[in-house]
Structure 1
Amino acid sequence: MNDQRCPCGTGRALAECCGRYHAGSPAPTPEALMRSRFSAFALGRNDYLLATWHPDFRPSSLPDEDPTEWVRLEIVDTWTQGDQGHVQFRATFREGRRWGVLEEASEFRRHEGQWCYVDGEPRVMRLKPGRNDACPCGSGKKAKHCCIRG
């Protein structure tokens, strides 16, 4: 497990990247929290997602089963001013044989000294990659030689 790559896309080991935040260290920036939350979605860590949601906006629960496989995160923009932050990102996902991209401008606030997710403005787009297109996972390979086979 120590050499498992972090799902957030830094290329670092999970334990050195988002895993330390999942283990209880506070994320130092809104971007670090966004990356760790993406990793938590990819790893099914609903406990972490709920714990890092601002208490004024936190849902009471999240679904235990999620058919979504989160495969790639791209940070588009980020800024921080005082106790408020903003991260715009694109997250590529797969549900069965269907692909999509979630784009969101997320708001973060510091609460009791720690960054928390407040909410966002999501937009979901479906992808229809062809066999000879670049794979949506970001590997740089043709889709037919990577995630889309057969």
Structure 2
Amino acid sequence: MPQNCPCGSSKPFAQCCDLYLSGKSYPNTAEALMRSRYTAFTTSNLAWLRQTWHPDTCPELSAEDLTTDWQRLEVVKAKQGLKKSIVEFRAWFNDGEHERALHEISLFKLYKKRWVYVEALPQWP
């Protein structure tokens, strides 16, 4: 039986985020991009994270930045716009002793006709 995608879509990985991470396709919504980025974090795909991060805000990333034990993703809400979009999510991880959640409201913008992650927002606008 095919393994479900880490992004929580309930689709097989090969029919979901792997299409993006392997370069076969590119997400056409900010939510799909965010889900693929979560999957990139779970699979240590630095190349995809760099490719999908706005160049003005992308930090230096290394393999050491991808050691978190991610467990599951919950999309709280998403607002798709024409040039910018917002996705609120919780990404659950195990810190070695407890399960915790990273809660973020993320800003995405179109850059060279593709959605990219820009930054975390302090609150829903």
Provide the TM-score with structure 1 as the length reference. 0.75
Q: Helix, strand or coil: the match of 1:81? A: coil
In the alignment, the residues of structure 2 paired with residue 85 and residue 99 of structure 1 have an alpha-carbon distance, to the nearest angstrom, of: 29
For 2:10, the equivalent position in structure 1 comes to: 11
Is the contact between residue 67 and residue 96 of structure 1 (CA under 8 Å) also seen in structure 2?
no
For 1:21, the equivalent position in structure 2 comes to: 20
In the alignment, the residues of structure 2 paired with residue 67 and residue 59 of structure 1 have an alpha-carbon distance, to the nearest angstrom, of: 16
In the alignment, the residues of structure 2 paired with residue 81 and residue 39 of structure 1 have an alpha-carbon distance, to the nearest angstrom, of: 23
Seq. identity, %: 40
Is the contact between residue 41 and residue 66 of structure 2 (CA under 8 Å) also seen in structure 1?
no
In the alignment, the residues of structure 1 paired with residue 61 and residue 33 of structure 2 have an alpha-carbon distance, to the nearest angstrom, of: 19
Pair 1:102–1:80, CA change in 2 (3 A): same
Q: Name the aligned partner's letter for residue 22 of structure 2.
A: A
Is the contact between residue 44 and residue 63 of structure 2 (CA under 8 Å) also seen in structure 1?
no
Q: Helix, strand or coil: the match of 2:36? A: helix
In the alignment, the residues of structure 2 paired with residue 50 and residue 3 of structure 1 have an alpha-carbon distance, to the nearest angstrom, of: 28
CA deviations 1:94-122 (Å, max 9, x no partner) are: 12222210100000001111100001147
Number of residues of Structure 1 aligned to a counterpart in Structure 2? 121
RMSD: 1.7
Runs (5+) with no aligned partner, structure 1: 123-150
Pair 1:65–1:91, CA change in 2 (3 A): closer
CA deviations 1:44-69 (Å, max 9, x no partner) are: 11111111001111112234364311
- 5 Å-filtered alignment, 1:64-75, equals 64=64, 66-75=66-75
Provide the TM-score with structure 2 as the length reference. 0.89
In the alignment, the residues of structure 1 paired with residue 120 and residue 20 of structure 2 have an alpha-carbon distance, to the nearest angstrom, of: 21
Runs (5+) with no aligned partner, structure 2: none
Q: RCO greater where, 1 or 2, for CA within 8 Å and sep 6 or more?
A: 2
User: Radius of gyration: which is bigger?
Assistant: 1
In the alignment, the residues of structure 1 paired with residue 110 and residue 68 of structure 2 have an alpha-carbon distance, to the nearest angstrom, of: 29
